[in-house]
Structure 1
Amino acid sequence: MADAFRTARGFGSSPLYGQLLAVVANNEALLELATQTRHGQQPTFALFGAVHYLLLRGTSDPLGEYYASVVGDSARPFDADAGVAFTRFCEAHSAQIASILGTRLVQTNHVQRALVLRLGLALTRRATAAPVRIVEVGCSAGLNLRADRYAFTLGTATFGDRTSPVHIRAEVSSAELLPDMDQLPRIADVVGIDLDPPDLTSDDDRAWLRALVWPENSYQATQLQAAMDVVAADPPRVLRGNSIEVGPKLAATLPPGLPRLVVHTATRIHVPAEERPAFDAAVAAFGVDGPMLHLALEDDQRIAPSGRPGIGLTATDADGSRTIAVADGHLAWLEPLPAMRDVQISW
């Protein structure tokens, strides 16, 4: 457990969490509390999310002075007292935190990652004019499944629904490698799979999703709120259950021969290591009876052409799997690779 906090990556946009990682790693009581995290879930995200949830729900404590999400621009920078405050808060509220860790899942819905689905739709349309079935594995509340209803700006180019209250912006290099992002196929069906889908009509579930956004990331929090409102008005179909069991059953119901786009982003990391081969097999099942394009933003520790460390975006089609882009884990930037030109969906 200590190693999970010592070696955690990807917290660059949260200076507070970046410092608190070491506080937890060196505190036996905090590590013991973190062991209450559900099997397969990342304890770093879970513990920080549980504490953030209590603060956002009105638990008054000096720790809140360090959270921009609680006190705004007056948030104190990390100092020695922050670690003490975090430790005391966890001790004082250990029963509540343990209950959250034992019942909640890390279901971060970074709406920015809807860009992966939008890119997949454009790549599919480039290959075929047939209607497409969309499946997102580990979809949380299904916010990213509505990528066709959001506005996007990549670099200087804007596309999508320009009137949408959800506007996703990302830095992009080598934009000439991208497909036409305004050319989408007809969407025949949209479905997500999640272990325990959050209910967007529940204030408590909404608060949990908000707590999973890091304290300094106000832009992502605003995006999340806007997307929750859009999706709550017309929610996609989401199946409850383990994708290892649900996926093959769902795949068997899809019309044979019609293309399907299967997407997951930062999902496989939360699958217990011993179950990942079965997870991969369940995803592959969607390609048995029809042409499939599978996009996964999961390939950790990739280096972009610019030299920036990021996450690999992997495409699997009839020709196999390869990395077609490297991106920031939250899709703040995207660097397409030449392999993106070769994506197809033939069967």
Structure 2
Amino acid sequence: MSSERLAELAERLRRFAENEAAGWSPLYEHLAAQAADDEDIAGLLTAAPAEQARPTLLFAAAHRLVQAEPLHPLSRYYPTLGGFDGVDRETWPLFREFLLERAERARELIAHRRTQTNEVGRAALLYPAVALAAKEAGGPVALLEVGCSAGLLLGMDRFSYRYLCDGGEQLTAGPAKASVGLHCSLEFGSAGMPHLPKKLRIGARIGLDSHPVDATDEEELAWLEACVWADQPERARLLRTAAHEQRKHPVELVAGDAVADLGATAARLPAELPLVVMTSHTLPYLPEQRREEFLAELTRLAGERPLWWVSEENYEVGLEHVSGQREDLAYDRTAQCTLGVVRWSGGSPRASILATTAPHGQRMTWLLEPV
């Protein structure tokens, strides 16, 4: 393996520890910081395609291996598996030894699996944006999620939401009785509160993914659980609950390319329904040129039917393609994603920046005046 590749992987691990895991996952912050200085562990990621070689994939592979050996001492640091120990001086040596002893199995997972965290909590971030698009559409919409994994977010209209505002107020949305209930901290400052309708009218829905996940398959569901960070059992519980709910309301998932198969997938939805295309933590896995081609394909589709794009991505890989550079929203500066809605007028896209968001739906800062 080249020194340049190892240096790049080490930097990804270091940035993950500092920008994504810090203050949110003590276990993954510690493991990523240690792995950044360990060529043997970081080097396991060289088994993955370049765009997939991310810290989350390494830790998902390790999580899956610990799932398979729940009595191993390492499991005591994994609350998703019943562990209750916090990070201590034994955590890294035990993790390192465990993973290197199973290096061949780890590389197999890393080479053939993808980080497909179907993070149910992100529905709380996406709901206000999809609701805004539906309000502008003036009726039921067809929802198409690109990079859908198991498609759990497509059931967002069946979830209940409680937004805890910084001033002590609470906003609620969604059905009062729902098996999946989400909580999200909401800051809004001078921007005012977002409009949150009690009901979201989704007339049809479909998911597109290069490798869609069948959440009714226990092995596939176990991989989705492995993609959940191991010290956050509540996220794993929500995943299971949403997967159970989806079994009552199956959704169509299409295996295909985010660009080449987007039009054909959209055509499977009723033509009379306005189309809302949704992406969430999907575009970083596309090369730069493919992101531009994705926007071009959205523009083409917008010429055929009313279309809105709801984007909850790092600003640089998503909305920057429409709104241009914004240093104040740059992920490298904020460690936050940016939520926005893109519409088309006269063949040209224009975006509304709605909020900055934390990666797993735990909080958002609203930036747009109510519409």
Q: TM-score, normalised by structure 2?
A: 0.83
CA contact (8 A) 1:125 1:183 kept: no
Aligned equivalent of 1:55, options 54, 66, 70: 66
Structure 1 residue 3 corresponds to structure 2 residue 3 = no
Amino acid at match of 1:275: R
Offset at residue 105 of structure 1 (A): 1.0
Offset at residue 183 of structure 1 (A): 4.2
Paired position in structure 1 for 2:353: 323
Distance 2:304 2:34 in 1: 50
Amino acid at match of 1:138: G
Structure 1 residue 45 corresponds to structure 2 residue 56 = yes
With 194-203 and 284-293 compared, the bigger mean Cα shift is at 284-293
Amino acid at match of 1:194: D
Q: CA RMSD in A?
A: 2.3
Q: State how 1:1-347 maps to structure 2 within 5 Å.
A: 1-8=9-16, 9-12=19-22, 13-72=24-83, 74-75=84-85, 77-155=86-164, 156-174=170-188, 176-185=192-201, 187-252=202-267, 258-300=273-315, 310-318=336-344, 320-338=350-368, 341=371
Distance 1:339 1:219 in 2: 32
Q: 1:247 to 1:189 in 2, by over 3 A?
A: same
Residue by residue, what CA displacement relative to the aligned partner does 1:260-317 show, whole Å, maximum 9, x if unpaired?
111111111122344322233334443221222211111358669xx97522112211
Distance 1:340 1:318 in 2: 20
Q: 1:310 to 1:217 in 2, by over 3 A?
A: same
Offset at residue 60 of structure 1 (A): 3.9
Distance 1:322 1:124 in 2: 11
Distance 1:274 1:240 in 2: 21
Residue by residue, what CA displacement relative to the aligned partner does 1:88-147 show, whole Å, maximum 9, x if unpaired?
111111111111111111110110111244223321332232331111010110000000
Amino acid at match of 1:311: C
CA contact (8 A) 1:2 1:25 kept: yes
With 245-254 and 127-136 compared, the bigger mean Cα shift is at 245-254
CA contact (8 A) 1:294 1:317 kept: yes
Amino acid at match of 2:76: E
SS at match of 2:69: coil
SS at match of 2:82: helix
Question: How many residues in Structure 1 have an aligned counterpart in Structure 2?
Answer: 336
SS at match of 2:277: strand
Distance 1:282 1:252 in 2: 13
Q: TM-score, normalised by structure 1?
A: 0.89
SS at match of 2:90: helix
Amino acid at match of 1:317: R
Offset at residue 318 of structure 1 (A): 3.1
Offset at residue 213 of structure 1 (A): 0.9
Task: Among all aligned residue pairs of Structure 1 and Structure 2, give the percentage whose two residues are the same amino acid.
Answer: 27
CA contact (8 A) 1:313 1:326 kept: yes
CA contact (8 A) 1:42 1:106 kept: no
Distance 2:115 2:131 in 1: 29
Structure 1 unaligned regions, length at least 5:
342-347
Distance 2:136 2:336 in 1: 28
With 61-70 and 193-202 compared, the bigger mean Cα shift is at 61-70
